[in-house]
A and B are shown apart, each in its own frame.
Chain A
Amino acid sequence: MTALDANIQIQLESGFQLDVGLRAAAGETIAILGPNGAGKTTLLHALAGLRPLDGGSVTLNGSVLDDATTGVFVPPEDRSVGFMFQEYLLFDHLTARDNIAFGPRARGASKAVAGEEADRLLELVGLADRADARPRALSGGEAQRVALARALAGSPRLLLLDEPLSALDATTRDYMRRDLRELLSTHDGPRILVTHDPLDAAVIADRVLVVEEGHTVQEGTIAELAQRPATRYVADLVGVNLLRGVVRDESIELPSGALLVSADVSEGTIVGVVLAAIHPHAVSLHRQAPETSARNTWSGHVEAIEALGSRVRVRIGGTVSLVAEVTPGALDDLAIAPGVEVWCTVKATEVSVYPA
């Protein structure tokens, strides 16, 4: 059952165009992923009514909130939308409790009822003992929780979160990410989360919408994105090598002229321009020209080496630029350092090919 049905078209003065369709069910969390300037925040502002649409419409639980064609526009205060802002935007002159009670009060609840609601939410986010603290006195993690509690107060029909974790330090971020998913489940409407961190999306969201330059480029779960990234940005996001080429006979010709062999391209099932995704751990490295059954072999130079948890990522430049993921032991054994020449091999079965 679709609770939120939005088709958002906005034309900014700078010439930037936003055109994104968005559907979400009650109880579903959707992450909007995208690089800076992709229009993610503008999208949330349009949903909240802080910016009217230039085209399209927003419908929530069957009622129209904004429709550029008919001219219907419900102002933000009448939308019942909880908005958690990137910099929280807590009211400095009010205590944590009064910040949370602000919404219910503004919507007509009595002081006592609003206060009870605030206390319940303070309890929920684990800040019952900080009720009387002013925002300035709160730590980053505490302020984040108060902002979330404030957005949740009054049971809004739609919850919007703009980079809820970006202002936190790395450690706080890790445990808040886990908590956030749990806290969001207490809200029964659709939840839209804007982030540029795929980990946030993977942990918190049910589904991901990738927006680039104002347009949706891909939609799905993080796993689906990792399997078939549609753009370079998505591939980088999920840490997958993405190559673009044209199918010639039974292999793929890359722009550099190199040929790529894939088990997916065998019986003429795919033609034309295609994308090929190769996971970094499927790329093997060798110091000498290898004698292997792997169909794809290219040489190149090591450009960069970076640690990634217990693995090491090696960026190789050459006719085919790839990122390989190896163990620190393998790195030592092969004496791989920036600048050295290496051979990369990839099995044909490890190259996933799909239409561009």
Chain B
Amino acid sequence: MRLQPLQRKRGARRVPVLLLIPAVFAIVFLVVPIIGLLQKVVWGDLFHDLTTPQARAAIALSLRCSLWATVLAVLFGVPLAWLLARVEFRGRAVVRALALLPLVLPPVVGGVALLSAFGRRGLIGEPLDAAFGIHFTFTATGVVLAETFVALPFVVITVEAALRAMDRRLEDAASTLGASRFTVLRRITFPAIAPALSGGVALAWARALGEFGATITFAGNIEGRTRTAPLAVYLLLDSQPQTAIALSLVMVAICIGVLTLLRGRWLVRQ
């Protein structure tokens, strides 16, 4: 970020001080915590801290689970977004609200809800366990499930908005050219929503990577199996603060990377 003296164009209005002061406060408020984190980092030991077995396990698990969660969110979220954008059905508003619920729901509550559905004694979890011996609690699959739950809305929101915004007459044009509905989806609709989808994927992935509340409630906190990076940060903050800080730094770096990618590639067209 570069703050340059604003070169005002002739005739441009002065920025009102009443807005400027709180805005500057907001910037300081956003930047100071990052600076605080950076000055806590013991740079000389950074490599060592990140290569401890605990840190490596947490990072590896986080990457693996968040990527799977992102894939699932896309696989299920895009069709849901299409349904919400294109098909008029009774209860569509309710379904849309449900799809957005994980976004506003406290993650811990999400975890409890998942537990009551997919836990060992849960609505679906119990029969699944009895019939196939499948269980989600205390497994990496559970982590993926929790992360998918919180990441899904980002894909649904962005893709639905893009589907609504796109010129549907382009699909009409393609169909008059002999394209089947599937061909229209593949060659016209998806390319049209690709930028939005990329943005949604990036946001979903960042959200999955940072997931804490639902994961610890539903999947537990077992080293090497369900202890993702955010869980490790929380747990190690007392015993090994240096490692916790190093892990935090990695996640900040990843998130800034995602944002930069978003700005540079996908949000520019606006």
Contacts and interface: CB of A to CB of B under 8 A. Distances in A.
Interface of A: 48-50, 75-83, 85, 87, 89, 91, 93, 102-103, 106-107, 150, 153-154
A93 B175 contact: no
B183 A106 contact: yes
Contacts of B169: 85, 87, 89
Given A85-B169, A89-B170, A93-B192, A50 B176 contact: yes
A82 B191 contact: no
Contacts of A78: 178
A48 B174 contact: no
Contacts of B176: 48-50, 76-77, 79, 81-83
A33 B173 CA distance: 23
Nearest to A108: B178
Nearest to A86: B169
A77 B170 contact: no
A107 B177 CA distance: 8
Given A102-B187, A106-B183, A91 B175 contact: no
A102 B175 contact: no
B179 interface: yes
14 contacts: A49-B176, A50-B172, A75-B175, A76-B176, A77-B175, A77-B178, A77-B179, A85-B173, A89-B172, A89-B173, A91-B173, A91-B191, A106-B177, A106-B178
Interface residues of B, number: 18
Given A89-B167, A93-B191, A83 B179 contact: no
B170 A50 contact: no
B180 interface: yes
B103 interface: no
A232 to B, nearest CB: 33
A79 B178 CA distance: 8
B188 interface: yes
A65 B169 CA distance: 21
Nearest to B169: A89
Q: Which of B173, B181, B188 has the most CB of A within 10 A?
A: B173
A91 B166 CA distance: 12
Contacts of A83: 173, 176
B59 to A, nearest CB: 37
Contacts of B192: 93
Interface in B171-227: 172-181, 183, 187-188, 191-192
B173 A77 contact: no
Contact of A80 (B178, B179, B183): B178
Contact of A50 (B175, B177, B183, B191): B175
Contacts of A77: 175-181
Contacts of A81: 176
Q: Which of A76, A107, A150 has the most CB of B within 10 A?
A: A76
